[in-house]
Amino acid sequence: MCNGPAVILMEPQLGENIGAAARAMANFGLSDLRLVAPKEPWPNEKAVAAASGADEVLNAARVFPGLREATADLHFLCATTARPREMVKPVMTPATAIAACRERMAEGAACGFLFGRERWGLDNEAISLCDVIVMAPVNPAFASLNLAQAVLIVGYEWRKGEGSDALGRHTQFDGKVGEGLPEHAGPPATKAELHALFDHLERELDASGFLQPPEKRPHMVRNIRAVFTRMQPTEQEVRTLRGVIASLCRQHRPRPK
C-alpha cells in the first residue's frame, strides 16, 4: 500500500519537471506518482537527473493514457489550481485538503491530488472530475507556482500530519534533530549561574564607569539582564561569557609594577 495520497500529473510537458516533482514527493514521504499522457517519452533521463536520487518514486511511477484511467481506483480527488473556475465545488487549503484525505484514508478510501500542465494548469473538464478545489495562500498578485513547488506544498502538509517531530536530515553524527537547543549544546544555565554572571558583569561595568549616571543605573542593569535572560544560555556559554569579561578587564587594567 502506498504511503500518502497519490500525486497525479496531468500531461506534464518536461521530464525535468516530473523529476523535480518526484524529488519533492520523496522529501516528504509521498510515493504514488501517476503520469497522465506525458509529452516526452517515458522513462525519461532528464527526469532521473532532476530527481536527484528520488529513484524509488520515479521507478514506481505509472503512466496512464487519460485522467479517468489514472484516477479510477480513487475515492476522493483534489484539484490544485490558482482559480476556482466558477464551479460550485468546496474550496480547501492544502492543509484542510490533507486533513480531509487523512480522515478518508483512515476509513480505507484512496485519495489523490491532481496537478495541471506547466503552461496553463488544469482545464475545466479535469476539474469537473474532482471532488474539491485546493488553493494555496499565495500572493494574489503573483499566484503562479511551478509543478514541483505545488507538489512540495502538498507534500509538506502531508508530512506535518505524520506526527514526527524530527527535522532535517538524520545522520550517524547528528542524530535526530528537533526544535529547541540540541542536546549536545549542554544543560541550560541555572539561575544561580546567571546571577553570578550578572554580578560579575555589573561589578566590572561599575568599575569602568559605564553604569552612569547613578539615577539611570537600575534601568540600565535591568536591560542588560534582560538581554542575557532572553538568550537562555547554557552552562558552558555562561562560563565563556565570564571568561570574556575577565579577559577584557585584564587587558585594560594597568599592570602592577
- 53-76 pLDDT, tens digit per residue, is 999 999 999 999 999 999 999 999
pLDDT of residue 172: 47
**Residue 138 CB neighbour total at 10 angstroms:** 14
Closest of 26, 155, 6, 165 to residue 95, by C-alpha: 155
CB 127 within 8 A of CB 133: yes
Residue 42 and residue 154: Cα distance in Å, rounded? Answer: 24
> Which helix or strand (DSSP H or E) is residue 1 part of?
none
Least confident piece of the model among 35-39, 82-86, 216-220: 82-86
Looking up cell 496512464 gives 64
Whether 103 has a pLDDT exceeding 50, the answer reads: yes
Give the residue-averaged pLDDT of 226-251: 91
Out of 134-148, 159-173, 196-210, least confident range: 159-173
Q: What is the pTM of this model?
A: 0.70
Question: For residue 166, is it left (φ>0), alpha (ψ between -120 and 50) or beta?
Answer: beta
Q: Does residue 67 sit in helix, strand or coil?
A: helix
pLDDT at site 154: 97
Whole-angstrom Cα distance, residue 251 to residue 200? 16
Angle between helices 15-27 and 147-160 (to 10 degrees): 10
CB-based contact 152:22 (threshold 8 Å): no
Q: 162-187 burial by CB neighbour count: b if 16+ within 10 A, else e?
A: eeeeeeeeeeeeeeeeeeeeeeeeee
Q: Which of 176, 182, 172 is nearest to 164 (CA)?
A: 176
Give me the residue label for grid cell 530527481.
51
Distances (CA, A) of 163 to 31, 87, 130, 159: 18, 34, 28, 8
pLDDT reported for residue 173: 46
Rounded to the nearest integer, the mean pLDDT of the chain is 89
Contacts 24+ apart (CB under 8 A), 235-243: 235/186, 235/187, 235/188, 235/189, 235/190, 235/193, 236/185, 236/186, 237/189, 238/189, 238/193, 238/194, 238/196, 238/197, 241/197, 241/201, 242/196, 242/197, 242/200
Q: Are 41 and 14 in contact (CB under 8 A)?
A: no
- How far apart are alpha carbons 39 and 56 in whole angstroms? 22
Distance CA 202, CA 225 (A): 10
